[in-house]
């Protein structure tokens, strides 16, 4: 079925939606994005994603798209037009097209940013079988640039990391810098030791996950101990449990790291409980 997508003010069938070959996201990965989950036709953590989008744009001096204040309405319109019950909405803003290739940023008064949104339907998104079995991760070196806090569309290395994981018979990769885990290819990474949840502190080294913020808040509200600090891959392999969070996987247990089985090789107590709380609270707060 052809989707209805949004491009620069217009709702179009996906076959008719186009952007210029000179668009800077195409030529230079000069763009940022957000992914918001939809459950029961409602948006999860929308305000958090919008706030991070604004921050990403500011950090890169990309002008806000004219429709910035209408983004909630646009998300809702796409959910309605595509009859999305469960799934995701992908949003991308690029610095636009100057009609040629040039390293110098175009004049923001002349060149307007490109705004694209499309839906991805994933029926039963919250009932993923992987959440019951847990996933396997491998570790790879983190060779990304130094501003991982900005959600740019430079996803080549994370994409390669995912392929390295697949080749190794695993599901995802955790990236390592100076011996410490930064994050997963498209998610934040956590371990649990003696009932304490440990995850790297926020800095330019990792994306400030919207799901991370919510999960840590819920964990603290549930009187769970949380330590925001770096951990090594060896510490992770000796942990009682591990898990990842992201907008599309929510809380996902990790049961093996580099072939080392954690605990009993099945999800432990903490990650499934956090997933349950996150889904319940997020559904309540969905808009």
Site residues (CB under 6 A) for ligand PMP?
A: 35, 183, 186-188, 207, 209-212, 245-247
- Torsion region of 11: left, alpha or beta (phi above 0 gives left; psi -120 to 50 gives alpha): beta
Instruction: Please identify, using beta-carbon distances, which residue of 111 and 202 lies nearer to ligand PMP.
Output: 202
Active-site residue identified among 64, 122, 151, 284? 151
Count how many Cα atoms sit within 13 Å of the Cα of residue 99 in the half-sphere of its side chain: 4
- Cβ at position 187, least distance to ligand PMP in Å: 5
Instruction: Please identify, using beta-carbon distances, which residue of 170 and 247 lies nearer to ligand PMP.
Output: 247
Active site residue 151: yes
Instruction: Please identify, using beta-carbon distances, which residue of 186 and 282 lies nearer to ligand PMP.
Output: 186
Instruction: Please identify, using beta-carbon distances, which residue of 98 and 210 lies nearer to ligand PMP.
Output: 210
Residues marked active site are found at 151
């Amino acid at each position: 079925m052809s989707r209805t997508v949004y491009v620069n003010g217009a709702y179009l069938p996906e076959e008719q939606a186009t952007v210029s070959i000179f668009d800077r996201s195409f030529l230079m990965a000069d763009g940022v994005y957000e992914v918001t989950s939809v459950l029961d036709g409602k948006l999860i953590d929308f305000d958090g994603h919008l706030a991070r989008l604004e921050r990403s744009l500011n950090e890169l001096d990309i002008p806000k798209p004219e429709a910035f204040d209408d983004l909630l309405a646009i998300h809702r319109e796409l959910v309605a037009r595509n009859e999305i019950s469960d799934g995701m909405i992908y949003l991308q803003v690029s610095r636009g097209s100057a009609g040629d290739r040039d390293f110098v940023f175009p004049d923001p008064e002349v060149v307007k940013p490109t705004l694209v949104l499309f839906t991805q339907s994933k029926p039963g998104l919250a009932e993923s079988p992987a959440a019951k079995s847990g996933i396997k991760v491998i570790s790879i070196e983190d060779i990304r640039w130094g501003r991982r806090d900005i959600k740019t569309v430079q996803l080549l290395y994370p994409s390669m990391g995912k392929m390295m994981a697949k080749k190794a018979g695993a599901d995802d990769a955790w990236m390592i810098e100076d011996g410490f885990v930064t994050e997963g290819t498209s998610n934040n990474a956590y371990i649990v030791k003696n009932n304490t949840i440990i995850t790297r502190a926020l800095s330019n080294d990792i994306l400030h996950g919207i799901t991370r913020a919510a999960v840590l808040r819920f964990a603290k509200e549930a009187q769970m101990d949380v330590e925001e600090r770096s951990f090594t891959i060896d510490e992770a392999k000796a942990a009682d449990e591990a898990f990842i969070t992201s907008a599309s996987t929510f809380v996902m247990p990790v049961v093996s790291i580099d072939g080392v089985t954690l605990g009993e090789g099945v999800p432990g107590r903490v990650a499934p409980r956090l997933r349950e709380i996150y889904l319940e609270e997020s559904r309540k707060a969905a808009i």
